[in-house]
Amino acid sequence: MTETSHSEGSTPQTPGNGTGVGERGEPLGPVLKKPGAGGSWRRPFARNGGAGSREIHHLGLVAALVLLALVGVFTEPDNFATSGNVVGILALAATIGVITVGQTFVIIGGGIDLSVGSVMALASVWATTVATQSYGPAVMALCAILVGTGAGVVTGILISYGRLVPFIATLAMLVAARGLAQRMSDRKTQLVRPENDAIEALSTTKVLGLPLVVYIFAAVAVVGWLLLNRTTFGRRTFAVGGNPEAARLAGIDVRRHTLLLYALSGFCCGIAAIIIMARTTTGSSTHGDLYELDAIAAVIIGGTLLTGGRGTVVGSILGVLVFTLITNLFILNGLQTSDQLVAKGVIIVIAVLLQRRGLRSPT
C-alpha cells in the first residue's frame, strides 16, 4: 500500500516557484538541479509541510510591500518614491533588522529572546562611557559587540544549563540589562565624543548612495541566511527547535546549541548598538524600548513558527521592512502613531492567519 498511496503528489505545488523571494531564497538551486527520478529538483530541501507554503507566504509579504509602496506612490507621489526616502527606510530598518536576524535564530531554535532591546541599550551605554570612549571608535564597537554577546551568553547559560524557561530568563535579562544601563549612564544620554566621530561616519558615509549602516544590515542578513541554510549550525537549529528530544537522541548537544543561539542573538544586539550609536550619536539606557516586541512581530509575520523548527531569515527581514514602511507611510501622510499601532496589529493578525492556513494544507 505504501507505494501507490504516497507517490501521488510527490511534487509539492509551488506556485511561486521561480519568482520573487522564493528564487532568491535558493541561489544555489541550479547547482543541485539534476534531471532525476524525483522529477524537477528545484528544491532539494523542502523545509516544511507544503514546500510551497513558504513561498506563498513570502509572496504574501512581498505583495504587502508592493501594496504599501503603491499606497505611498499614490498618496505622496513627490516624497515616497525618491531614492532619499528608500535609503532612509533602509537605514531606519537597519537597527531592528539586525536584531531580528538574531531573534529569528532563537525562535527557530525553539526559544524567544525578550531582552534584545535592553541588551542593545546596555551595549550602547557601555560603549559610550568616558572610559571606553578614550580608547577610540574601534574599541567602542568591539565593546558593544562583547557586551551584547556576553549578555547573550549569560541568558543562554541560564536557559540551557540553569533550566530556566526562555521567557523567564530573557525577561529577567530585559529588566536587569535596562537597570544596569541606567546605572552606568546615571540615566543620562551619553554623547559620542567628537574625536570618535568615526562611529557616526557609519551613518553619514555613503557608498554607492547607501550609508554604511545599510551595508552592515545587509551583511548581517546575508551571513545570517548562509548560517541558517548552509551550515551544520543552521541545520541543527531547525532540529533543536523542531524536536529537541529527537535532536538529543540524534546525538546533538542541545544545551550547548541553545546557549550558542542566545549568544548569537546577543551578538546581533551588539551590532545593532553600533548602528544606533551611529544614527543617534549617543548611547542611552532608553534605546531599544519595546524592540523585543517589534522583532518578535517581524519574525512571526515573516512566517517563522513561534514554536520553533521552521522559519526563514528572508521572511523576517521582509517583516521588518513592512513595519518600517508602515511607519514611514504614516509619517509621510501626517498620521499619528496611534493609527500606526492599529495598522501593525492588524497586519500581525492577518499574517498569522495566513500562516495557519499554510500549515493546515501541507502538500
Partner 1 sequence: MGSPEPLLLMRGIVKEFPGVRALDGVDLDVRPGEVHCLLGQNGAGKSTLIKVLAGAHQPDQGEIVFAGAPVRLAGPTAAMRAGIATIYQELDLVDGLSVAENVFLGHERARLGFTRRAEAERAARDLLARLGHGEIPPRREVGRLPAAGKQVVSMARALSHDARLIVMDEPSAALAHDEVANLFRIIRELTSAGVAVVYISHRLEEIREIGDRVTVLKDGRSVAGGLPAQTTSTDEIVSLMTGRDVEYVFPERPEPEDDRPEVLRVEDLTLPGAFEDVSLTVRAGEIVGLAGLVGSGRSEILETVYGARRPARGRVLIDGRPVRPGDTGAAVRRGMGMAPEERKSQALLMNESVAGNVSVAGLSRYASFGWLSRRRELADVRRQIEALDIRPPDPRRPVVTLSGGNQQKVVLARWLLDPDGLRLLILDEPTRGVDVGARAELYAVIRQLAGRGIGVLLVSSEVPEVLGLADRVLVVREGRVVHTGDARDLDEGSVLNMIMEGSAL
Partner 2 sequence: MRDQSPRPTRRGVLFGGAAVAAGTLAAACTSNSEKDPAPAAQAGSLAGDNDKPGKQVTIGFSAPAADHGWIAAIAKNAEAQAKKYKDVTFKPVEPTNDINQQISAVETLIRAKVNVLVILPNDGEQLNQVARKAMDAGIPVVNLDRVFPDKLSYRTWIGGDNYGMGVSAGNYIGKKLKDKGVSNPVIVEIQGIATLPLTQERTKGFEDALKTYGFSVTAKQDAKFTVESGNQVASNLLQAHKKIDALWNQDDDQGVGVLAAIKQSGRKEFFMVGGAGSANAMREIKSGGGVLEATVTYPPTMAASAIKLARLIAQGKGMADLVELQAPQSLTLASETVTKDNVDTYMPLGFES
Span interacting with partner 2, options 134-142, 182-190, 240-248, 260-268, rule CB under 8 A = 182-190
The residues, any chain, with a CB within 8 Å of residue 112's CB and separated by 6 or more, are 106, 166, 167, 170, 296, 306
**Run of H or E residues at 282:** strand 282-283
Identify the H or E element spanning 207.
Answer: strand 206-207
- Listed ranges 215-223, 241-249, 290-298, 331-339: which one lies at the site for partner 1 (CB under 8 A): 241-249
Q: Does residue 314 touch partner 1 according to CB under 8 A?
A: no
Q: Tell me which of 155, 281, 304, 312 binds partner 2, using CB under 8 A.
A: 281
What separation in angstroms does the CA of 158 have from each of 10, 30, 69, 240?
44, 43, 43, 17
- When binding is defined by CB under 8 A, the residue of 17, 160, 170, 182 that contacts partner 2 is 182
Which of partner 2, partner 1, none sits in contact with 82, Cβ below 5 to 8 A by type?
partner 2
- Residues of span 30-59 touching partner 1 by CB under 8 A: 31-32, 37-38, 41, 43-51
Q: Compute the distance between CA of residue 180 and CA of residue 167 in angstroms, rounded to an integer.
A: 20
Among partner 1, partner 2, none, what binds residue 251 when CB lies within 5 to 8 Å by partner kind? partner 1
Q: How far is CA 275 from CA 75, 92, 138, 250, 291, in A?
A: 31, 10, 13, 39, 14
| Cell numbers describing residue 291 | 524592540
87, 115 Cβ separation under 8 angstroms = no
Per rule CB under 8 A, is residue 356 in the interface with partner 1? no
Smallest gap from residue 289 Cβ to partner 1 (A): 34
CA distance 118 to 126: 12
Residues making contact with partner 1 (CB under 8 A):
1-3, 5-7, 10, 12, 28, 31-32, 37-38, 41, 43-51, 230-233, 235-236, 238-239, 242-243, 245-253, 305, 309-310, 362-363
Residues making contact with partner 2 (CB under 8 A):
76, 78-79, 82, 84-85, 88, 91-92, 182, 186-189, 191, 200, 203-204, 211, 276, 279-282, 284-289, 327-328, 331-334, 336-338
